[in-house]
Amino acid sequence: MREVISVVTGSKRKRLGSCALVICACATLALPISAQRQGPLPPPPGTVVPSSAPAESAKANAPRQEASSRINTDAPAVPVQEIIQKFTEHEDEFRKERENYTYTQFVVMQTIDDDGQPDGEYRLTSDILFTPSGKRYQKDTFAPVSTLNRIQMSQEDFNAAFKCPRRISTTSKKCGRS
């Protein structure tokens, strides 16, 4: 009789252990699920929240204003040379810093027909790298045959247009030209 009771108790222990294990597993798996939030997260504190009203309805409810198409031809308040100087003030510094980075450059030039569709294309993909001695160079990695037909460009034109750094307006020498 004692053996029968111990067998029954052993099977109950196994069953209770299995149930406890399943409950612990469910609780462990439920924690990440309960941490998830429904809907969008609120913005961080200190940020300006735009209105949630759609722009279309705001335009429809706004009073109608006459748009002015008059072009202002008055001279700027700041002299033009000062504007140019302020604009290019840090470009030499930017150019020097840019010389320290490697990157991949993608160039696409297309001619457009009368219907607004591309009818010719020039593509060039280049890696801007450094030699072991530290000299910077451009390695062309993808350059299919140009299909530009309506314009003629010499190798010098291509070099000037696609081998020079983009968007750098400096007061110093520009890409080998004075």
The domain spans of the chain are: 1-33, 80-162
Distance CA 55, CA 62 (A): 10
Kindly report, residue by residue over 5-29, the tens digit of the pLDDT.
555 566 677 777 776 777 767 667 6
DSSP 177: B
Distance CA 55, CA 53 (A): 6
Kindly report, residue by residue over 59-82, the tens digit of the pLDDT.
555 555 555 567 788 888 889 899
Q: Where are the alpha helices (DSSP H) in the chain?
A: 2-35, 55-61, 80-88, 91-98, 155-162
Chain centroid offset of residue 113 CA: 30
Of 158, 156, 144, 151, the residue nearest 119 (C-alpha): 151
Place of tokens 């504190």: 45
The vertex-75 CA angle with 73 and 78, nearest 5°, equals: 145
Q: Return the pLDDT at 104.
A: 92
Global model pTM greater than 0.75: no
Does the pLDDT value for residue 41 go beyond 60?
yes
Answer whether 170's CB lies under 8 Å from 91's CB: yes
